[in-house]
Every structure is written in structure tokens, then in C-alpha cells.
Structure 1
Amino acid sequence: MDHSEERWPKDIRDCANAIWSCDTIDKATTFIQPMPSQSAPIALPNYVAGELRLPSSPSTTYIDSFEPKTGRLLYSLPCTQPNDVEEAIQHARSAFRTWSKTSRSERSRHLRRVSDLLQEHRELFAVWESIDQGKTLERARIEVDRAISNFSYFSTYILHEQTAARMADGVALTYEHRSPAGVFALISPWNMPLYLLTWKIAPCIAFGCTAVAKPSEITSMSAYLLGILLQKAGLPPGVVNIVLGDGATTGAALVASPLIEGVSFTGGTATGIAIRRATAHQIRKHLSLELGGKNPTLIFADAMADASTRKHAIRTAASAAFENQGEICLCGSRIYVERSVYEPFVDAFTLYVRDKYSVGKGSMGAVASLQHYNKIRGYLQLAVEENATFRLGAVPPMLRENSNQGYWIEPTILTDVAPASALQKDEIFGPVVTITPFDTEEEAIRLANASEYGLAAVLLTTDGARMRRVGEQIEAGLVWVNCWLVRELGTPFGGMKNSGTGREGGEYSRDVFTVVRTLHLPA
């Protein structure tokens, strides 16, 4: 580590050295195995003003975080109190004065450096992301690659962005001028911790803003490692600050601060509503809220017409349902199948999922927390009470805290689920799907749109006209036809209805993180 890290307290620095050296599963497992089951010798610090530091408030409490695959205590993290949150905001505000005036080429250089360092330490981040969140190592690697792309993409975007100029009846030349909006609160969820955190940080600093970021208290390890990496990359102190803690204390203080000019949040709809209420009197605040989803997958008979299309349809629907244990807001958890191919699809789909996604075969991880495990378990108990048919899976056993058992749930396929059931309506956010038949295209569209959410959808068909006709009627911000989770970072990302407000990606991220004024110059 470089000399500037001598500012860190020795125990924090030693811990950072030890964790940073664990760049394989074997090394990381060896490091965490000796930990006593009832105590956490690792206490993750915040990253504020370019330094790793524990909060100074004497009222700071600590939150325990557990390893999903074993149920063992992994580390603790501070529940950062409002006064320490405000200190981080002040550092971001001070850094904004300089960073907002930094040239685009200089900002681009910093982002490229972060991207390069992430690439260099790709396996380190993937290893700890897999351990901390419960996902497979293969899935973690994919998400680290996307985090690398986030910094790489915005490092070049800002060098080539365009603005608009118009002549007003020969009287004046008008042009749009954009400037950084200010200090942003960036709040990311636990399901894709590094990827979604960097999806916010990269455009925020690329467009000249500074940030105070708060990851989920369930998965804070990759944010901690990112703080170390940002320090290594030489990002000026205060441009990005990372405070750890829960939503009720740390997140609420961050969002409500009058010094915060905008909030980019990814998480549950209930929290999004709370953010809007907390900031309703602060009209100026930029809000970008990417919230829940209960996404449909529509499968038409032509998608099952021959062996090739049938294989593709089953593989795509299964991937959309069970990747990352179904813990992706874009997962297709409501599958609707044209009745003429319904039973053949259900049989083939069940066989494929049993072979590909069963726990223990390397393609399914553990769900992220005991709380979430119990939530999913509650829905599966409801399925039993409502006499749904379990084509695959069952109600998992009851687990209690400190049981040292991992949070493993087998992929579950349910049929014979009533349209009004909570299983069809609520965002379960786990490895659970329902499959329902439909008879007509109009019914398929109606069923797909029968949700308070409108984030994403998958449409499987070989009919080119139907692709456009149905795709344009589905009430979702993202519609994938014969594919899933394909992303081009310039396209708008966000949902309709209760799935959020605002869009991010390319010029849409620019709208979030900048303010625009129109200048009129006499002709």
C-alpha cells in the first residue's frame, strides 16, 4: 500500500491488508474460518475524505453481517449516526467546489484508472462478492465485469457528449448549458452490490458531482473494498465517500440532509415511497428511483415449435427466473404460456431447472440473509395453504439466527396459482416462479400488465409482427424479446408504475446528475 495509507489506524490498515490479499476462494476461506462463531473480529470502516475510518460518534452501534452460504457471522459494520453522515456530506460538498470544475479529460482519466484497477483486481472483488452475498463465483465475476464497464463507459461518454443549439427567428442563438448538480446520495441494494453501486458512482463523478454512497448493510464488503481501490486510484479525497449503516438511521439521515442535491436509489418500492415523502418539501432534489418488479415472461406457441426454438425458450425463461437465486429485480417470476404448449413447456422447463439450477450443482447460490430466507419461506408456506402445485421445490426448513446453517432454497416452480394470490402479485425476490396458461394474445397482454409493477418483461416468440405488437403494449420500462438481461449502457434503464421514476444510462444519467440552463445570445 502507498505511503498515504499511513494515515489509517494500524488495526484498520492491517485488516485492509489482510482482506485485500484474499484474492482466491481458498485464501478468503482460510482467512474467515478461524473466526469465532459468536463474535466478529472484522469491523468494516467507512470511507470518508479519502480515508478508512470508523465513525466518531459515541452513540454508534454495530450491525452483524452473516455469510449466506454458512450462516456464520462474517463481520460487523457501523450503523453510522446522523452527525457522522453530515460530516461525510460536508467533505463531499467541499470536494464538489473543485471536482465540478475539473476538466472532462481529467475526470475521464480518473474513471479509466478506477476501471483498470478493478480489472486488475477482478478476482478479489468476485471472491468477496460471492462470499458476502451468497451468489456463485461465476455470477460474481459477471457482475464485477459489469462494474468495470460502468467506469469504462462513462469515462468515454463525457468526452463525446453533445448539446443542442438553435436559432430563434434570427433574433437570438440559444444553446443548452449543463453543469454538475451537486452532492448526491447514492443508495444501492444487496442483490448486486458492486455492480449497482458503481452504476451510480461512475456517472455521478463523471458528470462532475460528488457523492456520499450507502450500500446495503447486508452486503457492505464490496463497497468497503471499493473505498480502498478508490484511494489506490488517487481519486481526490471527498469526491466519493462511503458510509455504512441501515436505512432507518444512516440512509434516512443521508436522504433528508438539505445539503444533498439529489438521490439515486435502487431498492424496494416501500423505501422509494419513504424517500419521496422525506424529500417532498425539497422540490429541487433530483430523484432517480429504481424500485421493485414482478416481471412477466410471455411464451407463445411458436417459440416451442421446433427443437431449436424450444431449447432457447426454456433456457431463456429459466435464466430469467433463477439467475442469482432469483434475486435480480429484472427476473421473470411470472411465466405465462400459450395453452396449446402449456403442459409440454412445464414438463420440459421443470426437467431443465432440476438439472441446471438445483442447489449443489454450482449454478445456485444461497439467498442473501436469514430475514430474506424467512420471507421466501413464508410465501412457500402460503403456496401450500392455497393448494398450489409444487412442480419443483418445497417449503424449506425453519432456520434461526446463529444456527450456522446456510440460507439455501431450492428452485421452486408453482402451477395452479390463483390470479389474485400474493404469489402472483408480490415481489418474492427469490428462486420462485409461477406458471399460468393463456389462450389469446390479448389475454397474455392483460395478464402481463395485471401488476402494480412495470419494470421489465420477457417476450418469447418467432413472429416478427408480434414482437413489435405485443412488446409495445407491455407496461414495462425494459422489454426483452427472445433474450434477457442484455444491456447497452446508453439505453434508458428504469420502470413504469410502482417500479420507479426516472431513467439512468447515457444521456439519461446526464439528466439525473446535471442541471440545464438555456442561454440566449443576440444574433
Structure 2
Amino acid sequence: MGRESPTPWYARACVADRVDDLWTCDTLDKATAFIKSHNGQISLRNFVGGQYRSPRNSSAESSQCINSFEPKTGRLICTLPCTQPDAVEDAIRSARSAFPTWSKTTRAERSAILRRVSELLQEHRELFAIWESIDQGKTLERARIEVDRAISNFSYFSTFILHEQTAARMVDGVALTYEHRSPAGVFALISPWNMPLYLLTWKIAPCLAFGCTAVAKPSEVTSMTAFLLGEIFQKAGVPPGVINIILGDGVTTGAALVASTLINGVSFTGGTQTGIAIRRLTAHQIGKHLSLELGGKNPTLVFADSMESSVRERTIRVAAMAAFENQGEICLCGSRVYVEKSVYQDFVREFTSYVKAKYIMGQTVGAVASLQHYDKIRRYLELAVEQKATFHLGSAPPALAQKEAQGYWVEPTILTDVAKDSAVQIDEIFGPVVTITPFETEEEAVQLANDSEYGLAAILLTTNGARMRRVGEQLEAGLVWINCWLVRELGTPFGGMKNSGTGREGGEHSRDVFTVVRTLHLPAF
């Protein structure tokens, strides 16, 4: 989802510092002081076999580490290992050793452990929110929301597995058939940098709930809260090896993880190009379960009736939230806004005024996640300048060098007069950038919305009940929100169409990912 922007890594020794003090940083002031006092000399370690440990690599590159920077300031926060293939295999073997026992634990036992994980996250909610905000660049308020969702992930699946159903059928009085599910095995769980804790736990919770074991790899850009999760799993009583967390980049660590023949399935959220690479790496492993939630360039359709006085404020608010929440770094953001021509000018004016007043850098808008991603967004905005797009808000930010960066700040940007074939209109920028384009008819609106290689989400703003169904059912998107955005019940299928991925997760759909089904036929006589 545009989330695979690289981060520089260097051949240097990782500092073997104790990081127990991270757990004392339950206020922003404490965490900031801790970072300053350590001057970037905080080292994160892998969590394998129920313990924190540095990877034992036989490779000559075993000392290579990745530097992780704070988006809001540009300063070095910590280093983390770039786990090499032999250490990746160690983690996979740990998960495989744990699988036979964990897969046979009762649902009640697994439920109790997941519930305890949820409770411990709740107890440390503010600490996780603080480190998530620092590590990713998002506002503290946004980070709290995402920690709450991570808590809900474990809570939801802890109860879901207690109320599962199966199907039984009679075959013309000859046989009784019934479906039996069992855990699929060891999974690679790979999550992106935009919502690190929330999306990682969205994978870990169902994986463990359905009796699988896992090796999880967070993004190298945002590994802090994944590192802290290991302590939560220890305290919750998760048996050693059931969940292993390894740190590293995609090219080295991630590729070794997904390609291993010891891995039975992959749940990945990230960029479409990385998803394609995973498909290629695993193409010969036919039985490997794949769930790939990939990129999005999502449309927001604004019909004239949604700009009537009684609902006007809601329309502007929902469209703005869908465009700029979390700096636009959410795969579900509506970055292509299409507005019915009769209200186009009014919408552009009021939308711009609302965003200018409500989305303020450093207050309600955080920094983008990395210097590399900052540069990506900057190049698209420079292209918009070259192509003479109209900037109603924002501008192309200046080029930065890491040593001089005071943070990766991109102000909310609203563009009109962007050509249909412009990369600004087509590509997933994954930042606080939105384009607004007029349309005349409902048919044109649907055509414009579907004119994309992606099909993850769409937002439909109208008061016409018939149109809600008529248009909503034509939009080529896995998730369609009508007069709202980002509202989701955890049992609903989550995933996209076209180049936005394959597979669905959530409730019974996650069960399909993490289990295998066999049908037993018993004679009826």
C-alpha cells in the first residue's frame, strides 16, 4: 500500500543495551527524555521461543543493523537487527516445534490466553500509544484509537472461537457429511508501517485463536510496539514459540520468511509490488495459504443531494476525515474525490476551508513515517506543480537530507485540475494529498470511481436510498462506506478487488485463512 518505502541500513554493531526502562515511559515527557538520554543507542531484539534475543547469524553480515528515526524530529530513536535467513529459519523452527501442542489446546485455553493479552494491553494502553505516536509519526490521539483497536482484536477473537459453528448435511439418506476444521500450521505475519500495532495484532490474534503458530515481522520503519508486544505475550502466558517476532527489512528478512518451505501460510498487508513479489516467491508452493491486503487509490463520490443544508456538514466532515486521517497514511483513505458538477465549486471551497481549520500540522496532523516516504510524496507534488494543477491548500515541500531533517512534515494538500492520466491521479501516494474532480452523471461517477487498478475501498455520499444500493453495488471495491468511513465490525470481510489483494480476513473469513477444512462422510446405515 505504498508502505514498502525503504529505510537506510548500515553495517554497524547493534548496541546490546537493556531496554527495560522503555516500560517506565508511560508519559510523552518520559519517553522523550529517555530517547534524548540514550541518543539513539536503544537496540531492539527479536522475540523467539518466548525470549528476547539477538539473532545468531552465521552470515558475514550478522552485525548489520537498521536505523529507525523519529518522524516528528528526524532524530535516531533506535537500531534493530536486519535478521538474516539462517536466523529466520531458527524462528520458524521455534514456531514449528510449538505447533503440535498449541494446535491441540482447547478453545477455552486459547480464549483465556488471548483475553489476558487484551487485558494487559488495556493496562498499558497509554504506554503503547506513546511509543506508537513517537515511532510512526501519528498524533497521540490517533495512536490511542489504534491501541484500542488492537485490544479489540484480541478480545474479539478470544470469544469468537468459543461460538463457532460447522455444517452437517444428509446425502439422500445414504450418508451424513460434516465439515471439520483444523489449524493450518505455521504462518508468516507481515504488517506495514502505517498502523503498526493495530494491523499486526489483526493478524496475530486470529492466527493464535485458531490454533496456528507464527513468525511475525513488523515493518523495519516502525518496530517499537511489536518489540514491546513480546513482553505482553510473556506475561499473558503464551507458550514459548507460539508467537515469534523477528525484525528486519523486506528484501532480506521478509523474503526469507515467506519463501521458506516450513511456512504454511502468509498473511501480508502492504504495497502491491511487494504482494506481487510474495506471489512469485510462493508460486510453486501450491498449498501455502495466502492472504494479501494490498494497495488502494480509493474514490469518494459526492452527489449533489449530500450538499443539502441538513447534511452538508456531515458530507464535508466525512470526506475530509477519509482524506486526511493519519496523514492520509491509511490504505482505506479516499484520496480521489469526485463531486457532482452542480455543487463542485461549493464543495471545493467549503472542503478547503474545513481542512484548513481542522487539520493542523503538529496538532491534528502528524509527520509522515520516514524520510523516504516524505521524498516520495514530495516528488508527486512537484509533478503536480509541473503539470499546472491548482493547489487550493498545501504545496510541494522542500528536499531534506537526513542529517538536517527536523521532521518529515507534509501539510494537507488539496488539488484540482489534475489530468485523468496523471500519476498524481493514478498512483497510490499514501499521504495527505487529495484530488477533486467534477462529474455530471451517476454513470460517469461510477466509471471514474472504477477507473483504477485498485479496488480496496470507496466512500459514497448521498441521501438517495435507491442510489446507495444502485451505486454501492456497482463500485469495484471490497469495502464501501455510505455517509460514513472507517466503521467496521470485526466479523465483516476485509480485503479488496483487483490489484488491492486477494483473500478476506475478519471473523469466519479469518478462520478460512488460518484453518484447513475436510469433509467427513459417515454412512447413514
Question: What band does the TM-score fall into relative to the shorter chain?
Answer: over 0.9
Gaps of at least 5 residues in structure 2 are: 1-13
Query: For 1:517 and 1:318, how far apart are their aligned partners in 2?
Result: 47
Aligned match of 1:98: 101
Aligned match of 2:9: none
Map 1:350-369 onto structure 2 (within 5 A): 350-360=352-362, 362-369=363-370
**In the alignment, residue 407 of structure 2 is paired with which amino acid?**
G
Map 1:112-511 onto structure 2 (within 5 A): 112-306=115-309, 308-360=310-362, 362-511=363-512
- Secondary structure at the counterpart of residue 491 of structure 1: coil
Q: Is the 8 A contact 1:60 1:81 kept in 2?
A: no
- 1:287-339 Cα offsets, whole Å, 9 max, x none, are 00000000000000000011x31100000000000000000000000000000
Aligned match of 1:51: 51
**In the alignment, residue 487 of structure 1 is paired with which amino acid?**
R
- Secondary structure at the counterpart of residue 336 of structure 1: strand
- 1:20-69 Cα offsets, whole Å, 9 max, x none, are 11011011011112343xxx311100000000001111524100000000
**In the alignment, residue 227 of structure 2 is paired with which amino acid?**
Y
309-318 or 54-63: bigger deviation: 54-63
Q: Is the 8 A contact 2:16 2:43 kept in 1?
A: no
Q: Is the 8 A contact 1:60 1:80 kept in 2?
A: no
- Secondary structure at the counterpart of residue 476 of structure 1: coil
235-244 or 55-64: bigger deviation: 55-64
**In the alignment, residue 112 of structure 1 is paired with which amino acid?**
R
Query: For 2:323 and 2:334, how far apart are their aligned partners in 1?
Result: 5
397-406 or 213-222: bigger deviation: 397-406
Query: For 2:86 and 2:41, how far apart are their aligned partners in 1?
Result: 26
**In the alignment, residue 120 of structure 1 is paired with which amino acid?**
E
Aligned match of 2:8: none
Query: For 1:161 and 1:383, how far apart are their aligned partners in 2?
Result: 51
**In the alignment, residue 318 of structure 1 is paired with which amino acid?**
A
Q: Is the 8 A contact 1:320 1:332 kept in 2?
A: yes
- Secondary structure at the counterpart of residue 344 of structure 2: helix
Aligned match of 1:4: none
- Secondary structure at the counterpart of residue 42 of structure 2: coil
Query: For 1:427 and 1:222, how far apart are their aligned partners in 2?
Result: 26
How high is the TM-score relative to the length of structure 1?
Answer: 0.96
- 1:77-130 Cα offsets, whole Å, 9 max, x none, are 000000000000000000001000000000000000000000000000000000
Query: For 1:275 and 1:60, how far apart are their aligned partners in 2?
Result: 26
**In the alignment, residue 498 of structure 1 is paired with which amino acid?**
N
Aligned match of 2:10: none
**In the alignment, residue 297 of structure 2 is paired with which amino acid?**
K
1:280 Cα deviation from its structure 2 partner: 0.3
17-26 or 212-221: bigger deviation: 17-26
Q: Is the 8 A contact 1:178 1:514 kept in 2?
A: yes
**In the alignment, residue 77 of structure 1 is paired with which amino acid?**
L
1:228 Cα deviation from its structure 2 partner: 1.2
Gaps of at least 5 residues in structure 1 are: 1-10
**In the alignment, residue 472 of structure 2 is paired with which amino acid?**
G
Q: Is the 8 A contact 1:65 1:75 kept in 2?
A: yes
1:13 Cα deviation from its structure 2 partner: 9.7
Query: For 2:95 and 2:435, how far apart are their aligned partners in 1?
Result: 46
Query: For 1:160 and 1:311, how far apart are their aligned partners in 2?
Result: 41
Query: For 2:242 and 2:38, how far apart are their aligned partners in 1?
Result: 34
- Secondary structure at the counterpart of residue 163 of structure 1: coil
- 1:249-302 Cα offsets, whole Å, 9 max, x none, are 000000000000000000000000000000000000000000000000000000
1:141 Cα deviation from its structure 2 partner: 0.2
**In the alignment, residue 54 of structure 2 is paired with which amino acid?**
L
1:388 Cα deviation from its structure 2 partner: 0.1
Query: For 2:418 and 2:234, how far apart are their aligned partners in 1?
Result: 51
**In the alignment, residue 93 of structure 2 is paired with which amino acid?**
Q
Q: Is the 8 A contact 1:166 1:173 kept in 2?
A: yes
Query: For 2:306 and 2:208, how far apart are their aligned partners in 1?
Result: 44
Q: Is the 8 A contact 2:48 2:91 kept in 1?
A: yes
Map 1:73-92 onto structure 2 (within 5 A): 73-92=76-95
**In the alignment, residue 164 of structure 2 is paired with which amino acid?**
E
Aligned match of 1:24: 27
1:15 Cα deviation from its structure 2 partner: 3.0
1:404 Cα deviation from its structure 2 partner: 3.9
Query: For 1:13 and 1:452, how far apart are their aligned partners in 2?
Result: 45
Aligned match of 1:5: none
How high is the TM-score relative to the length of structure 2?
Answer: 0.96
Query: For 1:145 and 1:292, how far apart are their aligned partners in 2?
Result: 24
Query: For 1:235 and 1:60, how far apart are their aligned partners in 2?
Result: 30
Query: For 1:492 and 1:176, how far apart are their aligned partners in 2?
Result: 21
1:405 Cα deviation from its structure 2 partner: 1.0
Q: Is the 8 A contact 2:17 2:43 kept in 1?
A: no
**In the alignment, residue 397 of structure 2 is paired with which amino acid?**
P
Query: For 2:257 and 2:63, how far apart are their aligned partners in 1?
Result: 16
Q: CA 1:302–1:325 in 2, change beyond 3 Å: closer, same or farther? A: same
* Aligned: 1:66 with 2:69: yes
1:14 Cα deviation from its structure 2 partner: 7.0
* Aligned: 1:41 with 2:41: yes
Query: For 2:360 and 2:460, how far apart are their aligned partners in 1?
Result: 25
1:17 Cα deviation from its structure 2 partner: 1.6
- Secondary structure at the counterpart of residue 175 of structure 1: strand
Query: For 2:312 and 2:359, how far apart are their aligned partners in 1?
Result: 18
Query: For 2:237 and 2:82, how far apart are their aligned partners in 1?
Result: 27
- Secondary structure at the counterpart of residue 446 of structure 2: helix
Q: CA 1:14–1:377 in 2, change beyond 3 Å: closer, same or farther? A: closer
Query: For 2:246 and 2:72, how far apart are their aligned partners in 1?
Result: 26
How high is the sequence identity, in percent, across the aligned residues?
77
- 1:439-487 Cα offsets, whole Å, 9 max, x none, are 0000000000000000000000000000000000000000000000001
- Secondary structure at the counterpart of residue 34 of structure 1: helix
